[in-house]
A and B are shown apart, each in its own frame.
Chain A
């Protein structure tokens, strides 16, 4: 297959189709609407289900229903819409059916704006719906990576009977890059031993997230956590850049990660030993590699397009052994490489104190610049 210029959102839609997507349910919201629009053209021609729901709440529960049949099914939205889906996500998790959700994040909280942001990290990775439930979260930084992870997300969701989310910011959704599409896989619905597809020649099945007996619910939560241990052991993915001899290690996902790459290169040209770790799975989070890098790094610099959400996961891995600094832009502002380069140079010349609160120091610097 040759490289074609793909727009992120359309590439995601086509990659899902090629991965055997059987049903899509969604609702328009910028900057992800092209996924819905693309599939409104593509799915009916293939005889597959496309439906614009009355709301994101409707959409996620349509996904819930379709997922119970064992079909490959997904929805996509952007931050405010994903907030509405949280109820459904919790039920899907509690019912242990596979489903895929794409969040093309925008500036928030509230209605915010439609510019690129990463403010939904905590919602995706740590929070969101009620109750205890793990989920897989993938964070592509380029159009090709979005295509590759889209196909992977269905496989992971089915393998672990778990929600898989793709979180990317609006710029990856709107950007065009050369990318290669995988071959078309036919929707080959697997014979799952849990799917409610009609009790033909078998005992009937019930799918539900209700466990009235707290002990049974507790067992369920144990089961989910056991499965999560497998995910953590097998599915961690990340990319490393210039890490061999790095004394300063930047950690950034998605667009913040790739912007950091430009800064790292510029800093290397100035002779600074800096490298980049870009988590591709932000859940499961690459704690182990960070633990290893803690033995090598003098300082970590976490770069995000939010006020320091993944920062806490990095601190958890580093456990105070070396200082962790933070740089973020939020509300829909994308950092330019030179801002990150300034941070690298500052860290390189004035050592960061391990005691300082990285978010507070960052906020002080940012507000001092504005004042």
Chain B
């Protein structure tokens, strides 16, 4: 078993933490995992992305060219990863930040209005958790409970009071994605 996920968006959209939550969940369920960010001047106001590889054996490359799974939190990331996704893959698209429909028909694009859902929950920073929740529909190796436990175990102490809202965000994202026609 091996799963590869790229999460991409603007700096400040919680891209890196979104990936870390998945990495923690994978680690806590006993799997091997790598998390690797894009780093450097790109970070300054520009785009950010991270790649998460989850496997049941020693992981080779921590980078993937054509991931089967991706989250695109803004339009530039949608443009980039829609074309890079492996055939048959699933792309979670933050509908709040894109103004076009999917071009490819050989992948599944799931549109989730992450910003709006996060704002409804009362904290726009939660948009990354909404997207991660949605991704779980295509990531059977990791359950909602695993991600919740990961958050419980690894969210910094000063953010622990935000746990319930994080859980709601994950669940809302997942539910939204499940409602989408496959």
Among B20, B34, B39, point to the contact of A31 (Cβ < 8 A): B39
Chain B: residues with Cβ within 8 Å of the partner, total of 22
A177 touches B35 (CB 8 A): yes
Contact A178:B39 (CB < 8 A) given known A5-B20, A265-B60: no
Give the distance to chain B from A170, nearest Cβ to Cβ, in Å: 7
Residues of A within 8 A of B (CB): 3, 5, 30-31, 113-115, 170-171, 174-178, 255, 258-265, 334, 336-338
Known contacts A258-B60, A259-B61; is-contact A170 B39 (Cβ 8 Å) = yes
Q: Is the CB of B35 within 8 A of A5?
A: yes
User: Is B181 at the interface (CB under 8 A from chain A)?
Assistant: no
* Contact in complex: B60, A176 (CB < 8 Å): no
State how many angstroms separate the Cβ of A241 from the closest Cβ of chain B.
9
- Check B65–A261 contact: CB distance below 8 A: no
Going nearest first, the 8 A-B pairs with the smallest beta carbon separation are A262-B60, A261-B60, A176-B35, A259-B61, A262-B61, A178-B27, A336-B65, A175-B36
Asked if B37 CB lies within 8 Å of chain A CBs, one says yes
Complex interface: chain A residues within 8 A of B64 (CB): 336
Question: In the complex, what residues of B have CB within 8 A of residue A171's CB?
Answer: 36, 62-63
Q: Are A177 and B34 in contact (CB under 8 A)?
A: yes
The answer for the CA separation of A262 and B61 in the assembled complex, in Å, is 6
- Find chain B residues with CB under 8 A from A264 CB: 60
Q: Report Cα–Cα, A37/B39, bound state, in Å.
A: 16
Residue of A nearest to B31 (CB): A178
Inter-subunit contact B39/A5 (CB<8 Å): no
Q: Which residues of B contact A262 (CB under 8 A)?
A: 60-61
Known A-B contacts A176-B36, A177-B34; the reply to A3 vs B27 at CB < 8 A is yes
Residues of B within 8 A of A175 (CB): 34-36, 62
Q: Nearest chain-B residue to A8 (Cβ)?
A: B36
Using an 8 Å CB-CB cutoff, how does the interface string of B6-41 with A read, 1 for contact, 0 for none?
Answer: 000000000000001001100100001111110111
Distance from B51 Cβ to chain A, minimum over Cβ atoms (Å): 9
Contact partners of B99 in chain A: CB under 8 A? none
Nearest-Cβ distance from residue A80 to partner chain B, whole angstroms: 15
List, in ascending order, chain A residues with CB within 8 A of B59's CB: 177, 258
A178 to B154, CA, bound (A): 13
Q: How far, in angstroms, from A175 to B51 measured CA to CA in the complex?
A: 10
How many angstroms from the CA of A263 to the CA of B59 in the assembled complex?
11
Which residue among A3, A176, A259, A336 has the maximum number of chain B CB atoms within 10 Å of its CB? A176
Contacting pair B40 A114 (CB below 8 A):
yes
A-chain residues with CB within 8 Å of residue B20 when the two chains form the complex: 5, 176
Contact yes or no, B40 A5, CB < 8 A? no
